[in-house]
Chains A and B, each alone.
Chain A
Amino acid sequence: MTVPLISLRGVTKVYGSGATQFQALKGVDLDITGGDFVAVMGPSGSGKSTTMNILGCLDMPSAGEFTFRGHHIETLDRDQRALLRRKYLGFVFQGFNLLSRTSALENVELPLLYRGEDKRSRRELGMAALDKVGLADWWDHTPAELSGGQQQRVAIARAIVTSPDVLLADEPTGNLDSERSVEIMQLLTTLNRDSGITVLMVTHEPDMAAFARTVVHFKDGLVERIEAQHRQGEAVEESPSRLREGLGVGLSPTTSSDTGGQAHPQPSSGSAVPPAQPEQRGTLFTPNSQAGGE
């Protein structure tokens, strides 16, 4: 029985106050195992992005518990959350969000700057990350000189350059055509499989969600259901309450009608999901991860 890497318990989020008050999340319970590839689906306005922002430590829940590696995140202040993002998280956005007039390499190096890496190791790690996304030859191109798919790959390189535990992607293929989208999904799958990065991805498209190992369905600010998918395209349906006890463990597979029979692009190799990060009850911040990293 693995302890989840990330755990939400009764998380609510209320936007605004008074008459304009709006409850975007109404008590979300969710466990995410380290090394999983999770797709978050659901109708527009169901609270997917809100959840992602909370999971990405960009926003705070109004109530409820949020633990990362067993540490309570809801008690951290703004700067501590920033340091957490710096050390453990990588972000990919729908709109790429690269710095304009800035070369691909400099964009990728940006997180390393905040980690206080010196110029040489920034170059090395940056080029290695660009190589992983297949853009090593494009290192000196600015976003304006790159296609949408290439820009998103640069953004992924930027997200993984620090070797984060978790990669959060809110509709990463939302601005791309289907061919480019599949490329991005294959890249994320490879990263998940080979580097053991836990991937959390919001998507509208079932074709993209099919790449994931676990699909979380949101509706009206609540988790409606969670499916575990087999690599061969089989899906496992489970109730949220059972999933709390640990995803991907001891689940009896049932064939899901919408993905069944489809040629599934998931890797066919028998490689097991990398083991979840061992639970660390120590501090989240080592001394050298303090602000500035100097």
Chain B
Amino acid sequence: MFGTTLVLALRSIRRHLLRSFLTILGIVIGVGAVVTMVTLGKATTAAVQQQISALGTNVLQVRPGQGFGRGGGGPRPPDFKPEDVTAIANQVAGVTAVAPQASATATAIYEGANWSTTINGTTAAFLTVQPWPLTAGRYWTPAEEEAGKAVCLIGNTVRQNLFRGGAAVGTRMRLGNISCDVIGTLSTRGQGGFGDQDDVVVMPIKAVQRRFTGSRDIRLMMVGVDTAYSTATVQAGIMDLLRERRNITGGKEDDFNIFDTKQISDTLTGTTTLLTRIVAAVAGISLVVGGIGIMNIMLVSVTERTREIGIRLAIGAVAREVLLQFLVEAVALSCLGGLIGLALAQLVILALVPVMQVPWTFDPQINVVAFAISAVIGVVFGYFPARRAAALNPIDALRHE
């Protein structure tokens, strides 16, 4: 009986292609919108997380000043000193390592090629806080670090622009006014949300302080946090210590800021997830509207096909068969709409991924769920018109104009 009904339903859909298409348009758009929104939302969340984790998770960044874009007037707060680094490393519980950073910009020159880049002076702790593997060469030794030797590790962008695929390790390049031995090449970190992270030359901090910045000042400390501790606790510990060391008492505001990448990551992820949910809910409403569309057109179709129903009843269809025919027709239509919607979503996602600069993803779960919803909508919104068709009196139906 079911096979027959399915045959009848498919025939009817085929015979009324335009009407069938209009019927399912709402479902197509609804399913397409839900799948597109959820997939792109998840891709955006993933992209944001990826950019933030490039900064390192369980890492606190400590800078002088009151954070991004705050505290405009007044004298500039003092930078940190090497003693601050040692104090945090030794006195705050849960700190694995503290990497000071002193930065400068300079032009690197090698055999006629030149490239303007950022020089990042730090210590071996830098690699403890935020591991960064080498593709070739070696890290500097403690002796070289202590002496502030002009040795450097170069990022991938610098290597490509200066050495153009040739060997870099073991060469000597010019960096500003000094010569410096390339002892290693860093692996690719990629394009973060904060610029090209591979456009960098990393040197012992003492070399940078002596040859470029001319002071012992430290503009940034990267603090590694033991995973057994919460970043908030460690953040509080550092705050207390620095307030004491910088003589900030009572209600006076901090003249430094601590940036917790994990916290930012969580906040951003939460925001994008919430946005995804809101957009998906709006798209879901369009699905329901699509279902009502199906019901509408099925009701019109029942009226329009009253005579057909009369014929079927006259030649011996029982009410249940007529009901099933219309129900199966509605479900077949909505499932068809669901499938087209899924395909449409894939096309839209493929088109939008490069524009939105998010990674392409395929989420089987949302596809299955959206399709299942379209089938359920067919049953729910197809039942009422189908019941109305089945309840028709054959004589009245046959006489219907």
Contact = CB atoms under 8 A, between A and B. Distances in A.
Contacts of A58: 313-314, 394-395
A273 B219 CA distance: 115
Interface string A59-99: 10000000000000000001100111111011101000111
A111 B315 contact: yes
B216 interface: no
Interface stretch (A22-30, A239-247, A252-260, A286-294): A286-294
B1 A87 contact: no
Interface string B309-346: 01111111111110000000000000000000000000
A178 B41 CA distance: 72
A9 to B, nearest CB: 22
B398 interface: yes
Contacts of A85: 314-316
A86 B321 CA distance: 13
B398 A114 contact: no
Listed residue (B8, B318, B320, B321) with the most chain A CB atoms within 10 angstroms of its CB: B318
A136 to B, nearest CB: 21
B319 A79 contact: yes
B369 interface: no
B79 interface: no
Interface in A102-120: 102, 106, 110-111, 113-116
B70 interface: no
A106 B8 CA distance: 11
B84 interface: no
B248 interface: no
Nearest to A113: B4
B11 interface: yes
B317 to A, nearest CB: 5
A99 B316 CA distance: 15
A158 interface: yes
A70 B165 CA distance: 101
A292 B316 CA distance: 10
- Measured as residues with beta carbon below 8 angstroms from the partner, the interface class of chain A is 20 to 34
- Measured as residues with beta carbon below 8 angstroms from the partner, the interface class of chain B is 20 to 34
Contacts of A294: 1, 3-4
A17 to B, nearest CB: 16
Interface in A235-271: none
B1 A79 contact: no
Contacts of B319: 78-79, 82
B307 A291 contact: no
Contacts of B312: 110, 114
A79 B318 contact: yes
A158 B315 contact: yes
B315 A86 contact: yes
B8 A113 contact: yes
B76 interface: no
B15 interface: yes
A291 B398 contact: no
A181 interface: no
B26 to A, nearest CB: 24
Nearest to A93: B398
Given A113-B4, A116-B1, A292 B314 contact: no
B87 interface: no
Interface in B266-309: 307-308
B347 interface: no
A11 B321 CA distance: 30
B104 interface: no
Contact of A82 (B7, B317, B398): B317
A119 to B, nearest CB: 9
A5 to B, nearest CB: 18
Nearest to A107: B311
Contacts of A87: 316
A114 B314 contact: no
A166 B311 CA distance: 17
A291 B1 contact: yes
A291 B321 contact: yes
Contacts of A111: 315-316
A240 B235 CA distance: 109
B398 A97 contact: yes
A293 B1 contact: yes
B316 A86 contact: yes
Contacts of B4: 113-114, 116, 292, 294
Given A59-B395, A291-B1, A97 B311 contact: yes
Contact of B7 (A89, A113, A292): A113
A113 B15 CA distance: 17
A53 interface: yes
Contacts of B8: 113
A107 B320 CA distance: 21
Contacts of A110: 311-312, 315
Interface of B: 1, 3-4, 7-8, 11, 15-16, 307-308, 310-321, 394-395, 398
20 contacts: A58-B314, A78-B318, A79-B320, A82-B316, A83-B316, A83-B318, A84-B316, A85-B316, A86-B317, A87-B316, A89-B316, A98-B311, A99-B311, A101-B16, A102-B15, A111-B316, A113-B4, A114-B312, A291-B1, A291-B318
Given A114-B315, A116-B4, 9 more contacts: A58-B395, A79-B320, A82-B316, A83-B316, A91-B314, A113-B7, A158-B315, A291-B320, A293-B1
